[in-house]
Amino acid sequence: MTITNGASDKAYQEGLAAASKATVPNTVKERILRGELAHSFSIKLVKSVEIIHYAAAAGYDAVLIDLEHSSLGLETTNQLSCAALQVGVTPIVRVPANTSDWISRALDGRAAAVIVPHVNSVAEAENVVRYAKFAPLGERSVTSGMPILKYASVPAKYANPVANDATLVIVMIETERALENADDIAAVPGIDIVLIGSSDLTSDMGIPGDYDNQRLTDAYAKVSAACKKASVDGRIVTLGIGGLNPRPDLIEKFASLHSNARYAMSGADKSIMLNGMKAGAAKCRVMTEKIVSGRSQ
């Protein structure tokens, strides 16, 4: 890992290396750096830590704990995040608002990545970085014993840059206004992933849920180009695919079209449970019909 902050003395670099070694690996970031596609499983309903173990057993790279579209609170979020770190699944938290009290507390509470919805301007993107990153990138309040550093007591001069490097900052493009500002948003230092919220974006476009519409395809191309433009001097800005859980064919399409599409929201507890239960109930109805038909003969 390379961290540049103007320091070059051997002792400092050794301190950074030791802190980096203590850091919990970020599976999503590792996949991004390898040019692969990382998949997350969204949690909106199930509050018990068992859901984390199921996600890990299923093979997901990350869990997305969704505070924007659920009634989950920070206490539950922090426990789920802690469980994810323990089993090697990256905990991502989508906060409900672009404010320090949500972003920094989610990160202090064990999240390794934060998603901020409805980012429409450079100023709003800069706010996200300000709240999510320690100085000099941002203004996140310094804390000690961070879970991402396995609770080790690491001096701030080492812990802060290492935590900055290990924490993914994800902003969402969900309106036509944001789409128009995609180049400038992606260029904001500290932004790692620009994630398209396909559901809200199509709604703002006046084509709600029309995911096959060429306008959405064009939107992905525009944001992909913005991410490529911002990926300079060793920096990688990734295109994210969101809101297409029911359409894995489109996730595959956009990831195939754009080599910098390396993160996708690819499942959710509510939809997978409902679909599984529907399939089971359908089998029950067929079974009942066969039994009733056999008894009447």
DSSP 8-state symbol, 19: H
118: nearest Cα among 181, 176, 175, 47 = 175
Question: What tokens does 10 get?
Answer: 């051997």
The SS3 call for residue 94 is strand
74: nearest Cα among 94, 55, 54 = 94
Q: Are strands 238-242 and 38-43 parallel, antiparallel or unpaired?
A: unpaired
DSSP string, 236-275: --EEEEES-TT-HHHHHHHHHH-TTEEEEEEEEHHHHHHH
pLDDT value at 99 more than 50: yes
The residue behind tokens 């390794």 is: 112
State the Cα–Cα distance between residues 132 and 114, nearest whole angstrom. 8
The answer to whether residues 242 and 197 touch, using CB atoms and an 8 Å cutoff, is yes
- CA atoms lying within 13 Å on the CB side of residue 112: 31
Sign of dihedral through CA atoms 86, 91, 95, 101?
positive
Q: What is the pLDDT of residues 103-124, one digit of tens each?
A: 999 999 999 999 999 999 999 9
State the Cα–Cα distance between residues 17 and 13, nearest whole angstrom. 6
pLDDT tier at 5 (50, 70, 90 boundaries)? very low
Which structural domains are found in the chain, ordered by start?
Answer: 15-295 (3.20.20.60)
- CA atoms lying within 13 Å on the CB side of residue 184: 13
The answer to whether residues 194 and 239 touch, using CB atoms and an 8 Å cutoff, is yes
The SS3 call for residue 216 is helix
Catalytic annotation, residues: 69
Q: Among the listed ranges 2-6, 133-137, 182-186, 257-261, which one has the minimum average pLDDT value?
A: 2-6
DSSP 8-state symbol, 212: T
| Percent of the chain with pLDDT strictly greater than 70 | 97
State the Cα–Cα distance between residues 170 and 189, nearest whole angstrom. 12
Q: What is the pLDDT of residues 28-49, one digit of tens each?
A: 999 999 999 999 999 999 999 9
168: nearest Cα among 126, 119, 228, 128 = 128
Phi, psi of 178 (to 5 degrees): -65, -40
- Would the pTM count as exceeding 0.85? yes
